[in-house]
Structure 1
Amino acid sequence: MEFKKISFLFFMMVAMNCLIAQKEIDSSSYYYRAILTPQTSEHLPLGIQYYKKRLELHKKQNDTTHTISDLRLLAIGEFKIGNIYDSETYIVEALQLVRANSFADTLVNAKIGLYNQLGRIYRSQLNIDEAMKAFNEALGVAPTIRDSIVPLNNKANIFKDLEKYDDAAKIYAFLAEKSRILNDSLQWALALDNLGAVQSQLKDDGALDNLIKAKEIRQNKNYLTGLYSSFKNLSYYFKDAGNDITSKSYADSAYFVAQNINSTTYTLDALSLYLQQSTDPKIAAYKKLKDSMEIAKTITENKNAYAKYNLAEEQKKTEASNLLREIERRKRIQYQALVSIATVLLFASFFVYRYRYKKMKVEEVYKTESRISKKVHDEVANDMYKVIASLELDGENKEATLDKLEKIYLKTRNISKETGDIDVDSNFGMDLNDMLLGYKNQKVSLVTVNLNKIHWEKYSSLKKVGIYRVLQELMTNMRKHSKATSVAISFEGKKKKLQIKYSDNGIGCTLKKTSGLQNAENRIHSLDGKISFETSPGNGFKATILV
């Protein structure tokens, strides 16, 4: 039994807490609608009073997000009842909080609303340039079409004020279509009402239909401030159409709604509608003079809190800009240094890779040649020698066969020499000289210039092998094809390079790269060197190597 009592008490406590929480939620929703869509004369004052209390509470709690929201709603409420400067003060305070917080990016909707409201304030103060700037600020942070509708509408209002009716009508028509698709009835009504107003100035036949449709939507929603605008625009429409009776009827309706809104600004504006009904020229002159004085007063008394805020912001921006420039300068230097280092490393890596790749290929060729040389010498030459030895035992009648076999042996020995191992260490210069002299005979003379002056230790093993093979290829080519009687080869060191010039007095030919010349060219290119050939029939053969 005791357990049931405790359970019942616990249930009642939870239920009470839920009811209190629900009441608070319902209360917040009620006052929120009272500010945005007031339907009775008490709504705006009650909403403003409620959000002033909330503002004090949220400031004490250091709740920045809710403080910004409270300031925004207070700015809207004060603007609607005509307290323009109080509205502006709330906006500026809210913008300062938005700018000061690191989580400003999460306050996109608040920023849109604040800049939009600020633009409306400037428009009411006839500060057109600042109004347009504020609406553009709102559009600049709006992520979607839905978020852009309100500031776009207010931007079109500026065009209407400037009597740029075509520009305004295009925007209003766009907004009317988008609002209808988005099923936003109040925004649709606003766009239709504004579109109808500018269409009436353009003498467009669709003006009245749009004005009536906007009024009907607002009546169904009991949206008082919007309904006031509809009655006012309809009064103007019928006055311009020469229908004074209907115009006055809508002026009466506007005055009735203004009183229900309980706003001095709306009431004064509604009373001015009656002045336009009069045909007395003195009253018309009075209205014109009064309007001019009001405009002058508004401009003179335009105590622009946002301008002061902008001045402070500009000073902060200047300081921040200088700091940012210095930071950017340092970052740029660091970035350039990193890019330079990365570029150097990239190129170095590329050249190292290319060098290693070429070195590997050259070494593979050299190893292959050595392997072929050994195989030819070990297998072919040795076998041939055995055949020769066996034939010698059979007598002299086989001299012709022996001569042929001797030639084969010499040929295989030469192949072995051409592809055999090369000593690239201490005796390279002597070995190279011996190889060249091996092509000298009674019919061919050979002259070498500066060969013994070259410091071969300066050059890599790969270069030495390449030079050896290329010169060997040129000498072999000379012996086989050129019928030369004289060969000259000069050597000259050029900084880190070696220049070799080859020339013979052979029959020459039309330059056509045979496999031998192609091999020579490939070898030199693999060492990042250059080789050129010069020949023609009857003019010998020349080659220049730089490696």
Structure 2
Amino acid sequence: MKKTLLLCVFILITMGCSKKQPRKVGILVKDPDYIKAKSLFSKNKDSAFYYFNKVATSSRDSLSTAFAYNYMAWIQNYAGDNFGSQESLLASLKFLDERNPKHLSCLSSNYNELGSTSFNLKNYDAAIFYYDSARRYTNDKEDLITNANNIGLVYQEKRNYNRAIKIFSGILLQSKETPKIYARILTNLSYTKWLQNPAYNPEPELRKALSIREAENDEWGLNSSYAHLADYYTSRNISAALFYAKKMHHIAVKLDSPDDQLEALQKLIQLSPQTDTRRYFTIYHKLSDSLQTARNTAKNQFALIRYEAQKSKSENLQLQKENTIKRYQIFARELLILGIALFSICAFVFAVIWFKRRKRLMEISARNALRDSQLKTSKKVHDVVANGLYRVMTEIGNRPGIDKEEVLDRIETLYEKSRDISYENPNNLKNFNEVISELLISFATEDTKILIAGNNSALWKNVSDTIKYELEHILQELLVNMKKHSQATNVALKFEHDKDRINIYYTDNGVGMPNGVQENNGIRNTGNRIATVGGAIIFDTKVEKGLKIQITFPNP
């Protein structure tokens, strides 16, 4: 009788030790159905299953689909539907690639769940195979220890106590850094030794594990410790056994674990005085019936889904067989209609895209034209108004006796130029050598001497008005920069005609440009101007002092 009782207790405890706890596995998925399912997982597993199923059947991401099936399998296992759980796990494996590092955690979880369902179905050899497979896909120390513990429990269930003890002993020291896991291994090791040898005293280790779990507030672990201590004391101290059975029932209710509640109630029925036995039996009976009904309902739900899917598939095949000829006749008409529809849609889409593209190109062209116009206007304002005013200011400052009327004429000329600034055609510049000479001399002062060579009318005979217009403003820009920045006392400009080009050499003894040419607005405009007429401006900054510039442009 005692041996039969011990065997029953052993089976119940083994089931309790293998009970599944909250999962660690998971990934960051943005799918709203997946997020919804995860939020419901610990609250309403039926609803969570529904949303995970939506992900599994609609997601285009293989890893999201695999994890959805994994969670569905866990829910089915929790509901007692082990075969349905295995089916979901095998479906999950189809979406995983062991060569992809991101898939390894799900692979490990799948094989661990397959080990759990095989254990529940008492297929212990398969359970060991799957637990071993799970270890291949993880490097996490805690996962490896947990997998080894699961294998040890399988050998315990097979009553291969020596093998189980060897496994538990091998991982006990490895788990010491993690108190919760250490307490679990210590409990399983001492309990297995007691199962192997009823004369062995596991009480010190069981109480040590209990103390660790109390310190860690490990409620699932406390549930296990209370169960083991109640079993150990059953044949030694009824009062102590009853005490731990009550504590187990209390925490099982708190954890909302019906299996643990039933196990605790079985202990209470066996250990309690006869006056309490009937009450505990009534509670046990109601809870057992309720749990069995709920699990049967869940199993029937999963079975109904599979049945409806299979039935729908069979009916469709039969319907296809009966209507093959009719569907073939309709096919050509439907194909024609579909072709026309697709052509119309494609034509419409093409027209919309073409129109939008044409509109976008027109907008870009308009923006570019506006920007070019603004740049031209900006350049004219800089060259005509700003540099012109600076030239007048220079003459006023360097010629005390300058005629007032002459100044007013100059300003009026600038005014007229500013009014006509939007016109594109350059002025018709005659006697250009005199225009240049007058421009250069206007920047000469008592402190700054300007020497001019080669500026004669023959030089400019074949030069177009456009080039003359640009060149006047280029020279004006150079002299304005000289006046503002160079501190030069001697400036020389030499003009020469070399075959089909005209070269202008500018030299001053100012501070020069030791750090290279600076891209200010004036210098940039100067470069742009000479480039528009096919010329170039070259700054020689290697001289020790002063500045040398060469301006060259074609003269056909």
Which bracket does the TM-score occupy, shorter chain normalised? Answer: 0.3 to 0.5
Bigger radius of gyration among the two = 1
Say which structure, 1 or 2, has more relative contact order (CA 8 Å, 6+ apart): 1
Which has a greater percent of helix? 1
